[in-house]
Chains A and B, each alone.
Chain A
């Protein structure tokens, strides 16, 4: 039984794992768990990951969730080139620091943009009040500013001259709002240039293949959304309104 990765490329953490595995030639079975159909709540999937989140990794009997943990696991098990997670004490610490910070500082806000600008109006038919949107965009601005000032600075990549796990995770997350036609790279030449470097380092083919489903999200016919799932989403959305 080969390595299985349970993913939906709509999710940024899934894209990070997918790109990393493909880029490093790690053989795996892509087990598609359709977020739009609520399959992460299916009995089948709950057996695999009771947290109902994606991505999950299954290596024989060993099941692992959390993309950061999965990336470290794959890095070690398949002896990925050291630039992905350099052994130097300080460099590695900087990656750890970013990986910890990004959960709340980047991933959450980037998803919020997607929800507020696309998914909430699409699913509930209501727009989020402009005030909330403004507030959220201010938050995002602050986070991106911190990202540039503290993590990227004047370097080509977060750790220096080569791409690492930190750049991969950062970029896939910053791509999330693109699905709602919100391009956070427009406001900063520095970020835009870094984005291009990371894309080229990964390989444009692989990069855009991984982002295809995300970029087509506006075409999704949400009338097919399972009513139970829709209800759950509406409850969850109360937080954003």
Chain B
């Protein structure tokens, strides 16, 4: 049994792993885990990842969770081009810095934007107050400013002259609020230019394919009470 990647492209970290594996020509079996059906909560999946989250990797007997760890594992095991995670001490530190920073900032705010704007009201039938939504979008805005001012600055990519894991993780995050109808690149020419660079480096076809699901998030049909009950605690914990 070769490398297995347990993914749902609804999830940002799954998209980053998917794009990276495909772009790098890493052979893998895609194991679909449908989040909106609660499949990540099953006992079977807990065998792969007791943390009950996606993405998850299974390589023989070895299982691994956390997209950053998975990306680094794939980088080392499959000897990908240097620009993804440069050997140079300082260049690598820049990538590490972004990958650490994003967990509680961009990741969190993009997730909240999607759930507060679309998934909670439309999919789960849980209304979100205009104040809550406004606050979430304001926080997202602040984070986008930090992304531009501190990480991107006047460079082509976040951590240096070439695309790295940092860009992949960031772009897949930003597509989350896009899926909710938030035009995060509008009025932000620097970010918009960076997005073009990243898409071109990844390949437009692959980029679009990876984002098909999230861009349809607004059209998610409302779920049923059984599934809603199952998903709510996890969702609330995830977006707090």
Contacts and interface: CB of A to CB of B under 8 A. Distances in A.
* A, B from the same assembly: yes
Interface stretch (A17-25, A34-42, A68-76, A212-220): A68-76
B77 A100 contact: no
Contacts of B150: 50-51
Interface string B97-114: 101110110001000000
Interface in B120-166: 146, 149-150
A62 B90 contact: yes
B186 interface: no
A218 B100 CA distance: 30
B97 A69 contact: yes
A93 interface: yes
A224 interface: no
Interface string A80-103: 000000000110111011011101
Contacts of B103: 100, 103-104
Interface size class of B (residues with CB under 8 A): 20 to 34
A84 B66 CA distance: 20
B36 interface: no
Nearest to B96: A69
Contacts, number: 82
A103 B69 CA distance: 13
A97 B69 contact: yes
A139 B237 CA distance: 9
A150 B96 contact: no
A221 interface: no
Given A93-B69, A150-B51, A66 B104 contact: no
Nearest to A59: B90
A146 B97 contact: no
B89 interface: yes
Given A96-B66, A96-B68, A101-B51, A66 B90 contact: no
A93 B97 contact: no
Contacts of B62: 90, 93
- Most chain B CB atoms below 10 A, which of A68, A93, A146: A93
Interface of A: 50-51, 62, 64-70, 72-73, 76-77, 89-90, 92-94, 96-97, 99-101, 103-104, 108, 139, 146, 149-150
